[in-house]
Amino acid sequence: MISKSDYLKLKKYLKLQPKVQIRDLISTLELNDDESKLLLSWYDGDKVIKTCMETYISEDTYTNHLKKIFSKIYNYFKYQNITF
Protein backbone atom coordinates (compact mmCIF):
# COMPACT_ATOMS: atom_id res chain seq x y z
CA MET A 1 0.00 0.00 0.00
CA ILE A 2 1.27 3.43 -0.86
CA SER A 3 1.23 6.14 1.78
CA LYS A 4 -0.14 9.58 1.02
CA SER A 5 3.28 11.23 1.27
CA ASP A 6 4.82 8.67 -1.11
CA TYR A 7 1.84 9.08 -3.44
CA LEU A 8 2.38 12.84 -3.60
CA LYS A 9 6.15 12.45 -4.07
CA LEU A 10 5.57 9.96 -6.87
CA LYS A 11 3.14 12.28 -8.66
CA LYS A 12 5.62 15.15 -8.42
CA TYR A 13 8.47 12.93 -9.63
CA LEU A 14 6.46 11.70 -12.63
CA LYS A 15 5.40 15.23 -13.61
CA LEU A 16 9.08 16.24 -13.77
CA GLN A 17 10.03 13.38 -16.09
CA PRO A 18 10.11 13.78 -19.88
CA LYS A 19 7.22 12.24 -21.79
CA VAL A 20 9.57 9.71 -23.40
CA GLN A 21 10.33 8.23 -19.99
CA ILE A 22 6.64 8.06 -19.16
CA ARG A 23 6.04 6.14 -22.37
CA ASP A 24 8.95 3.81 -21.53
CA LEU A 25 7.45 3.25 -18.10
CA ILE A 26 4.09 2.40 -19.68
CA SER A 27 5.69 -0.19 -21.94
CA THR A 28 7.85 -1.59 -19.13
CA LEU A 29 4.85 -2.04 -16.85
CA GLU A 30 2.77 -3.31 -19.77
CA LEU A 31 -0.15 -1.05 -18.93
CA ASN A 32 -3.22 -1.64 -21.06
CA ASP A 33 -4.60 0.99 -23.44
CA ASP A 34 -7.04 2.48 -20.95
CA GLU A 35 -4.41 2.78 -18.23
CA SER A 36 -1.89 4.33 -20.59
CA LYS A 37 -4.48 6.85 -21.87
CA LEU A 38 -5.36 7.86 -18.30
CA LEU A 39 -1.73 8.22 -17.26
CA LEU A 40 -0.81 10.23 -20.36
CA SER A 41 -3.84 12.51 -20.04
CA TRP A 42 -2.92 13.12 -16.39
CA TYR A 43 0.67 13.79 -17.41
CA ASP A 44 -0.41 16.22 -20.12
CA GLY A 45 -2.50 18.13 -17.59
CA ASP A 46 -5.86 17.45 -19.20
CA LYS A 47 -8.89 18.31 -17.11
CA VAL A 48 -10.51 15.40 -15.31
CA ILE A 49 -13.91 16.06 -16.86
CA LYS A 50 -12.42 16.09 -20.37
CA THR A 51 -10.72 12.74 -19.82
CA CYS A 52 -13.87 11.28 -18.28
CA MET A 53 -15.98 12.40 -21.22
CA GLU A 54 -13.52 10.94 -23.74
CA THR A 55 -13.19 7.60 -21.96
CA TYR A 56 -16.84 7.30 -20.80
CA ILE A 57 -16.01 6.89 -17.12
CA SER A 58 -17.09 8.75 -13.99
CA GLU A 59 -14.80 11.01 -12.01
CA ASP A 60 -14.71 8.49 -9.15
CA THR A 61 -13.66 5.74 -11.53
CA TYR A 62 -10.99 8.03 -12.98
CA THR A 63 -9.58 8.70 -9.52
CA ASN A 64 -9.65 5.02 -8.53
CA HIS A 65 -7.93 3.93 -11.73
CA LEU A 66 -5.21 6.56 -11.36
CA LYS A 67 -4.57 5.46 -7.79
CA LYS A 68 -4.17 1.87 -9.01
CA ILE A 69 -1.80 2.98 -11.77
CA PHE A 70 0.31 4.98 -9.31
CA SER A 71 0.38 1.97 -6.99
CA LYS A 72 1.69 -0.19 -9.83
CA ILE A 73 4.38 2.37 -10.59
CA TYR A 74 5.27 2.68 -6.91
CA ASN A 75 5.60 -1.09 -6.53
CA TYR A 76 7.76 -1.27 -9.64
CA PHE A 77 10.04 1.51 -8.34
CA LYS A 78 10.22 -0.16 -4.94
CA TYR A 79 11.15 -3.49 -6.53
CA GLN A 80 13.79 -1.86 -8.76
CA ASN A 81 15.14 0.24 -5.83
CA ILE A 82 14.42 3.47 -7.68
CA THR A 83 14.11 6.44 -5.35
CA PHE A 84 12.01 9.46 -6.14
In a domain, 5, yes or no: no
Strand blocks (E) in 1-84:
none
In a domain, 70, yes or no: yes
- Whether residue 34 is predicted with pLDDT greater than 80 in this model: the reply is yes
Q: What is the pTM of this model?
A: 0.89
- Whether residue 83 is predicted with pLDDT greater than 90 in this model: the reply is no
In a domain, 66, yes or no: yes
CA atoms within 13 A on the CB side of 39: 28
CATH assignment at residue 55: 1.10.10
Residue 38 to residue 46: CA distance in whole angstroms? 10
The single-letter code of the amino acid at 28 is T
In a domain, 35, yes or no: yes
Contacts of range 43-47, beta carbons closer than 8 Å, 24 or more positions apart:
43/14, 43/15, 43/19
Residue 32 to residue 26: CA distance in whole angstroms? 8
Residue 7 to residue 3: CA distance in whole angstroms? 6
In a domain, 12, yes or no: no
What total number of domains does the chain contain?
A: 1
In a domain, 67, yes or no: yes
- Whether residue 1 is predicted with pLDDT greater than 80 in this model: the reply is no
pLDDT at 5 (0 to 100)? 92
In a domain, 13, yes or no: no
